[in-house]
Structure 1
């Protein structure tokens, strides 16, 4: 895991920890009753707890990049502290990462990609990463950036290719509208017109 992919790594790691019932080794309970029960379980079989903690610690070490590993490696460590050090590394780089991602988002153009879908996927990935560093991109801004990047390409493409771009934009709008409304429908603005996507 590189620092640019911290949220993806942390999300997948938490899923793994839940599957094996060891999430408390990296994120202890905050509820008083749950914390008391966790401490009692830990005290009842400390050798087992230490072995499980070592397994989780090994997972952390095995799934981060070498640079991150050398930054967080401490003798006689526990999983929770290693987990927190990885998170702190990400927090320390948050502002510079946001500036870098913002530059990438505003300068990404369709000409750099082999297909409209690859271009859209790159923009979507950048918006997700920006949200993860506390700089969310609105749906409107995503669509405007998509259109701005497509503008120069639209003039050079044949009508069937323009239709494909329109269809992609329609799908993007539909997905954003569905996410905003919590509905599985399509974007009514595009659906109301004769759709070239079925041609």
Structure 2
């Protein structure tokens, strides 16, 4: 669908997204008045952004919040219930997208008369399309990335961020490979430390 794609796993269905992340089933739905007053940013700390490629962590936090408050049935493919509480809860979930997804990302995916499940599927589709292509480009960037003028902390944080993104793209980077890649890209000023870092 889009070159902004993220992970694509045809085996993932709406029925097993929670099991995929090991998220337990909530025993009871939060009462509607409490749900309407909920500050979702206290529970979903990441803002989903196409440019940041942070779908993996955002989706885990979003699914955890849905499960925590007994709202899994709004996106797992269960039939919509005709009660006013169910409809109000669905509107509340839609507002969670507005609070945790950048406007530019929502502009790409938001359908008319959006429901919790239609938005979930649209966002997931955008980030999962072209997984292999995204992984190839990111892998090239990861293996060609050098410290340059970055501080050691900035450089290693960026390396770890790319490794985590590759993991979300089903191209996991082993810890040993991450360390080797970090050492390879260090600038000349800190190359002298490599023998000390690699000494067993």
Structure ranking higher on relative contact order (CA contacts 8 Å, 6+ apart): 2
Q: CA deviation at 1:134?
A: 1.7
CA distance in 1, matches of 2:98, 2:190: 47
CA distance in 2, matches of 1:69, 1:110: 34
Correspondence list, 1:1-199, <5 A = 1-3=48-50, 4-28=53-77, 43=81, 46-115=83-152, 117-150=153-186, 152-155=188-191, 162=193, 166=196, 169=197, 190=200
After superposition, give the CA deviation of every residue in 1:122-171 in whole Å (9 maximum; x if it has no partner).
Answer: 1111111011112222222212112212373335x6xxxx39x94xx47x
Q: CA deviation at 1:27?
A: 2.6
Give TM-score scaled by structure 2 length.
0.64
Q: Which is greater in Rg?
A: 1
- Say how many residue pairs are matched: 151
After superposition, give the CA deviation of every residue in 1:13-48 in whole Å (9 maximum; x if it has no partner).
Answer: 1222233221321234xxxxxx6xxx6xx65x6111
CA distance in 2, matches of 1:72, 1:119: 33
RMSD, aligned CA: 2.6
- 5+ long unaligned stretches in structure 2: 1-47
Aligned to 2:151, the other structure's residue is in SS state coil
Give TM-score scaled by structure 1 length.
0.64
Aligned to 1:110, the other structure's residue is in SS state coil
> Residues 63 and 154 (structure 1 numbering): CA distance in 2 closer, same or farther, change over 3 Å?
closer
